Structure formats: structure tokens, C-alpha cells
Amino acid sequence: MLQGKKILLGVTGSIAAYKAALLVRLLVKEGAQVKVLMTPAATEFITPLTLSTLSKQEVGVTISEHGSWSNHVMLGRWADVMLIAPASANTMAKMANGITDNLLLAVYLSATCPVLFAPAMDEDMWFHPATKANIAKLLSYGHQQIPIQKGELASGLFGEGRMAEPEAIIAYLHDFFSKGNKPLAGKTALVSAGPTQEPLDPVRFISNHSSGKMGIALAEALAEAGANVQLVLGPTHLSTQHSGVVTTRVVTAADMFSSCMELSPKADIIVMAAAVADYRPKNVADKKMKKKDDELNIELEKTKDIARTLGSQKKNGQLLIGFSLETNNEREFALKKLQDKNLDMVVLNSLNDAGAGFNYDTNKVLLLSRNGKEQALPLQSKQEVARNIVLAIIDLQHA
């Protein structure tokens, strides 16, 4: 399972640092490439020579001793995963607050890979509110905590705070890589997709050209990232078979509004990709309308604005992403929608771009975020566009 995996092991100042020797040995035995970083305090518990001999790699302790000053950036990009074991209360506090006073922490802040940490400390430190707050911060960054164990502690007391045994950490890594990195694991996403149909009579309706391709691709990309996805899908022949997506079929704008209102309270991420009708016939005939006069006047009334309603009742921590399909003054109208509807990000589609818009298998969009960040995506398959939008959503979660 770990064959060829690049593991960056951070060892900090804890009595549990002695377990790093066995951990490195087990990782190498599994076929992993292991590079070790140590805090200066960690060298008081186990020597760099020991870990260098076991890993067959130079061990980094200080920036000045570890090649050029920019090596921490390269190390942060090299790894498939950064594992900090043991993670002392002191190092976790610095990680949580962005303090960078040694090589290990410089690499941590530069790391583009997933970060796992295995806490180790005495029970009183483990239960201190500051430690709990720091761990909560680290989890909010998308890092994963390897569960601590209960047993005899360095103080001689018996309780919680022991670092997981090396064998348990190896098992955790097996599970991590078998599942893949799922940055949205445990999150719930709500996606609307497709058109709506607003009936005139039993056989006719007002609709648009939306196929639902973009919204379905987004639902699947969110599920691939680990989210549990609720897809509210308007009338289309398309569907998804992804096991992580539950589909609710709707027809009218009122149906879509009702389903979105029901599902939105439990959603961490809401993506409104549907092309919902802005107006519907005020009166719907109960029988087929017969052709009589040369002209037919239909009185329309506004439908409920789903994105605006969701924006007005958005909870703390909930992300709301909308779409803006425009034919003129594209950027101006998209930014207005971003503000007026309290969106966190708007995906701007221009019908003036060749290969973008309804029914195409490709799309070209501009992502405009509330924090001022902009990202222009070139013409790509809608699946690729969806994956890039999901990456932008993940960035918003950590902003």
C-alpha cells in the first residue's frame, strides 16, 4: 500500500520521539520513501544520525544546515503526505498560529500535500482548552489527526495523551491512501442543476436550453472530493450513477425552491448551477389551449429567487456559490449578483465564448470570489471545469 509513497516525517520534542525510529523502519519496510525533519528539541530525545541511518536520507534540523534557504519549499512540494509524529503541544500551537521558527514549521507552512499529525503529551496538557482550540484549528485547515491512545504516560500517570503506536500509524496511512485524499470528507453539498419547466397547460411549458451537464459534473466532482452530495435536478434526460450523489428530481421552479429549502439547512456547501426560470405563467390552463386568434398574450409572474433566499439565510461557515450566464456586460452583472445575493463565489459564463454555455460538453468560465480573488479557466471539458471549481471551493473553505 505504501510502495513508492513519499512520506515527509516531522519529529518534535516529546519523549515519544523514540518511537520515530520504529516508525521510519516500518515505513521503509513498506516501500515508502522517507525524509525526516526534526525540531531542535527533538534531537534531545533521539539523534538525527539514528533516523538518517534508518531512512537512508539526510535529516533536516536547521535551514542553514539543510542546503539552500529555499529547500523548505521544495520539501513541501515533494511529499505525498506530511506526517508529524510525535506532534507536541508546543509544535501544534505553532502550526495552528502560523509561527515559523524552525525548519520543520517552515516546511509545514510550505506543504502542498495533505498533513497528518499524531499528538503526544501528558493528559493535563491534552485536556487543556488551548490544546483543544489548537487542534480544532488544525482540523479546520483540512489536516487529519491520528487518534491518541490511552495508557501509561511519561509522568507515570495513566490516561489519555499517548501517541499512537507506529503500527497503528502505519494502519492509518494504509486507510488514508486506500481512500485517497478526500478534502471534503464529512461535508454535505447541495447542488441544483438543469432547467425548470413552467407549464402553460397540460401539454405546453416555458423552459430553456440547459441540459444539466455542468451541474451534474459538479455534483460528481464534489462527491469525488469526499462530500455527501444532494443533487436537485430539473427535467433532463441526463443522470448520475455516482454512489456519493443522491438525486431529487423536480420539474418547476417552485419544486426546485421547495427541495432546496428543505435540504439547505444541513449543507456545508451550496452550488446553484440550475437554470431556474425567472418567470412563470400566472394562470395555467387545466385543458390544452386551442389555437384561435393570431396572437396569444401570456401574463407572467416572478418565481422565487432561490439563490437570493439562500443568501439571506446563510449560516456561519456555509458556502454559497452561484452561476451567472450573461450575453453582455458580463463581469458587471456577475459582480452585482455576487453582492446582491450574498454569494461567496460566482461562476461567470458568457454565451459569447465559443464552446461554452448550454448543451456543450465544454465550458469556459471566470470565477469571481467575494474575497476579491479571480480565476479564469480556459475552455475545458465540463468535468475538468467542475474539478477546478471544487478546488476553488476548497480554497474558500480555508480562506
Q: Alpha-carbon distance 305 to 338, whole Å?
A: 14
Q: Alpha-carbon distance 137 to 141, whole Å?
A: 6
pTM of the model: 0.58
- Whether 388 is a known active-site residue: answer no
Residue 323 labelled as part of a binding site: yes
Exactly one of 71, 90, 208, 342 is catalytic; name it.
208
Q: What are phi and psi of 138, to 5 degrees?
A: -60, -40
DSSP-derived secondary structure letter, 68: S
pLDDT of residue 68: 45
Q: For Cα atoms 333, 281, 334, give the angle at the middle one, nearest 5 degrees.
A: 10
pLDDT of residue 159: 80
pLDDT of residue 3: 87
What is the DSSP track for 117-130?
A: EEE---HHHHTSHH
Q: Alpha-carbon distance 206 to 198, whole Å?
A: 5
Full set of structural domains in the chain with CATH: 6-179 (3.40.50.1950), 188-281+300-398 (3.40.50.10300)
Q: Alpha-carbon distance 281 to 254, whole Å?
A: 12
pLDDT of residue 121: 92
The pLDDT profile of the chain, 399 residues, written as one tens digit per residue, is 688 899 999 999 999 999 999 999 999 999 999 999 999 999 999 999 999 999 999 999 987 655 544 466 778 888 999 999 999 999 999 999 999 999 999 999 989 889 999 999 988 899 899 999 999 889 888 888 888 887 877 777 788 888 999 999 998 898 788 666 678 988 999 999 999 999 999 999 999 999 999 999 999 999 888 899 999 999 999 999 887 899 999 999 999 999 999 999 999 999 999 999 999 999 999 999 888 878 888 999 999 999 999 999 999 999 999 999 888 999 999 999 999 999 999 999 888 777 776 778 889 999 999 989 999 988 888 998 999 999 899 988 876
pLDDT of residue 107: 93
Contact 357, 351 (CB under 8 A): yes
Contacts (Cβ under 8 Å, ≥6 apart) of 241: none
Asked if the bond preceding 281 is cis, omega within 30° of 0, the reply is no
Closest by Cα among 246, 250, 220 to 235: 250
Residue 127 labelled as part of a binding site: no
> What is the CA 220 to chain-centroid distance, rounded?
13
Q: Alpha-carbon distance 124 to 246, whole Å?
A: 44
pLDDT of residue 234: 97
Residue 337 labelled as part of a binding site: yes
Take residue 263 and report the three cell numbers written for it: 435540504
Contact 206, 281 (CB under 8 A): yes
Residue 288 labelled as part of a binding site: yes
How far CA 343 is from CA of 113, 269, 334, in Å, comes to 29, 11, 11
